[in-house]
A and B are shown apart, each in its own frame.
Chain A
Amino acid sequence: MAMVKTPVLKVILCGEYGVGKSSIFRRFINNTFVPNSDRRSTLGLDHFEKSYQLTDKTVKLQLWDTGGMERIASVTSSYYKFAEAAILVFSLDNASSFHVLSQHLLDIVTYAENAKIFLCGNKSDLEGSSPQVTDADIETFCEQCHNLISTTYKTSCKTGKGIEEMFTDIAMQLVESNRSRIELQTLDHDSFKISNPEPVEDPGCSC
């Protein structure tokens, strides 16, 4: 099934309910912001693909949101499958959303073994002068988890600051680290997606 096509890289959002994952998702889709998280605005939206033109290559990031499953239950393990990258999101104005990240990190390394992991402190507009989560806290966390975190970003979905930069950087890093793997995958990939059969064209009359 070898095909030359733009590689599509699955990127998943992880983290506590209410840290702004759906807001990041919405910014990614159409660069808008809806205050007071209105679930309805992403209702029925599963994932979204966007192309990133890098110096010598185009890739598509396919961003997935949790669908709110983590609100009371946990996210299904299949959410993590086939992910190339995971963004661990916490809220800069909420220390507890930061302190539970190790649990989410554990889920990622368990179910999405090969994913590159990124850390995103959202709501930077609310950070203020005495931040709930300091840069030192973040640094300590990254050290504690054996440098599994590739890069840390700070974003604000409210203002849009840092969002596009984050995704462009993630696209670049994925291409760098996955170059050989992406190529290998397009060659050696014998499982497939199922779809409707190609409509058989009616040959009609041969005259």
Chain B
Amino acid sequence: MDEEYDAIVLGTGLKECILSGMLSVSGKKVLHIDRNKYYGGESASITPLEELFAKFNAPAPDETYGRGRDWNVDLIPKLLMANGLLVKLLIHTGVTRYLEFKSVEGSYVYKGGKISKVPVDQKEALASDLMGMFEKRRFRNFLIYVQDFQEDDAKTWKDFDPSTANMQSLYDKFGLDKNTQDFTGHALALYLNDNYLQQPAIQTIRRIKLYSDSLARYGKSPYLYPMYGLGELPQGFARLSAIYGGTYMLDKPIDEIVLGEGGKVVGVRSGNEIAKCKQVYCDPSYVPDRVRKKAQVIRCICLLDHPIPNTKDALSTQIIIPQKQVGRNSDIYISVVSYTHQVAAKGWFIAMVSTTVETNDPESEIKPGLDLLGPIRQKFVSVSDYYEPLDDGTQSQIFISESYDATTHFETTCLDVIKIYKFGTGEEFDFSKVKVELGEEEQ
């Protein structure tokens, strides 16, 4: 440990592992430390099942749960958008070779007490039970507009300037009713709340395009999920970092981040050892005095021995409950994965219900989600604080990631990583530049 590094990364969550990998690939000498014995921090998948029960102080699972080590249970539920930023990162860094994926089978939205499939193309829109006949026509016209929309071709904007006009005015232009706005903004554009309505329409158009481009990649739904759970993702980037010379230390408590002149970081202390460095990258848990609490997120892991009712027995699915449907300010998300992803024993399903906390009784806030699941065999609830850094880190050279938010996909995760990378290296993260070949040559 008593060496000098360009950067020390603390915590092996997904964000830190991506950063570690990118820094190593760019030639930096990296030391990557975690206080835990395992990789992944908050983004680990817990295995075996006994470990998960112990973590939540529950009595050990009985034999009906099958073999404990057939389970890999995520703590933070997220899915990958097939055409999203994380997939781009995986491809460009070559980390994709460590992973296999399955397409998520269905994407549903909640309306009036029941769930319906999210209509994603004109054909599905016309068949959907979410809208009346005339509304379907209007929604179809809206979808065609978004599909034909080209940012660099003002002709396709149809007398509407999406960079100045807000999204509400675009909805109004097509005469879409509140219900349709609801599932468009929340189930297609994947906004957590309704603030987007007052923001330039271009942002929402981009998000709907991301949704439909993702859908076009592997069919069925725009979402992907990795075999053996999300914990494989940070591990893949950790390996990338190691292959490019990064040094790994687990089970190493961090006692102090050592500052030098002008409050600039000069090293990291563990016991009597000090590793010197020019920069530190870390998650909020390593620097409690440099972050502030922004909100709370509730997540409930539910183990089920059956698929979710009304999803055609889908082995994986996502259900979005738009805020307004249940009188809230932020959406409730449900993601479901199962034994087909090697994350549960044969016949078992893992449903995760999550949302941003709005009251003093977060457990009752997720009830509309729990009610959709059918009988729940075991439930684990956690409420975690959501932290953000106090500054951008350029002064102290301590770059801190935000906690994982309640969104169900990795877009905000990647944006945070790209932002930190920019502050840390002074360089814009260029996807085309990171394309590395990892020993692909063959004889």
Q: Footprint of B on A, CB under 8 Å?
A: 29, 39-40, 43-51, 66-69, 71-74, 76-79, 81-82, 110, 190-197
Do A51 and B443 touch across chains, with their CB atoms under 8 A apart?
Answer: yes
**Which residue of chain A is the closest to B92 with respect to CB atoms?**
A196
Given the known interface contacts A47-B439, A72-B249, A78-B236, the answer about A191 and B243 at a Cβ–Cβ threshold of 8 Å is no
Do B102 and A46 touch across chains, with their CB atoms under 8 A apart?
Answer: no
Do A45 and B248 touch across chains, with their CB atoms under 8 A apart?
Answer: no
Q: How far is the CA of A40 from the CA of B27 in the complex (A)?
A: 12
Contacts of B227 in A (CB 8 A): 81, 191
Least CB distance from A14 to B in Å reads 15
Contacts of A74 in B (CB 8 A): 250
Cβ-based interface call for B202 (8 A):
no
Do A45 and B224 touch across chains, with their CB atoms under 8 A apart?
Answer: no
Least CB distance from A12 to B in Å reads 12
Q: How far is the CA of A110 from the CA of B102 in the complex (A)?
A: 23
Do A193 and B245 touch across chains, with their CB atoms under 8 A apart?
Answer: no
Q: Beyond A72-B250, A194-B224: 13 further Cβ-contacts under 8 Å?
A: A29-B439, A44-B438, A45-B439, A46-B438, A46-B439, A67-B242, A68-B242, A69-B238, A77-B235, A78-B231, A78-B235, A193-B99, A195-B91
Cβ-based interface call for B155 (8 A):
no
Do A50 and B443 touch across chains, with their CB atoms under 8 A apart?
Answer: yes
B425-443 residues with Cβ-Cβ distance < 8 A to A are: 436, 438-439, 441-443
B238-268 residues with Cβ-Cβ distance < 8 A to A are: 238-239, 242-245, 247-251
Contacts of B231 in A (CB 8 A): 78
Residue in contact with B98 in the complex, picked from A50, A68, A73, A78, CB distance below 8 Å? A78
Q: How far is the CA of A68 from the CA of B245 in the complex (A)?
A: 8
Given the known interface contacts A78-B236, A110-B69, the answer about A191 and B439 at a Cβ–Cβ threshold of 8 Å is no
Given the known interface contacts A73-B248, A78-B228, the answer about A44 and B101 at a Cβ–Cβ threshold of 8 Å is no
The count of chain B contact residues (Cβ–Cβ below 8 Å) is 42
Q: How far is the CA of A49 from the CA of B25 in the complex (A)?
A: 22
Least CB distance from B18 to A in Å reads 15
Do A191 and B94 touch across chains, with their CB atoms under 8 A apart?
Answer: no
Contacts of B94 in A (CB 8 A): 46
Q: How far is the CA of A43 from the CA of B247 in the complex (A)?
A: 12
**Which residue of chain A is the closest to B95 with respect to CB atoms?**
A46
Q: How far is the CA of A40 from the CA of B39 in the complex (A)?
A: 24
Do B91 and A196 touch across chains, with their CB atoms under 8 A apart?
Answer: yes
Do A39 and B245 touch across chains, with their CB atoms under 8 A apart?
Answer: yes
Least CB distance from A178 to B in Å reads 18
Contacts of A49 in B (CB 8 A): 442
Given the known interface contacts A76-B235, A194-B101, A196-B91, the answer about A69 and B248 at a Cβ–Cβ threshold of 8 Å is yes
Cβ-based interface call for B87 (8 A):
yes
Given the known interface contacts A79-B239, A197-B217, the answer about A72 and B247 at a Cβ–Cβ threshold of 8 Å is yes
Contacts of B97 in A (CB 8 A): 46-47, 193
**Which residue of chain B is the closest to A196 with respect to CB atoms?**
B91
Given the known interface contacts A71-B247, A73-B250, A192-B100, the answer about A44 and B232 at a Cβ–Cβ threshold of 8 Å is no
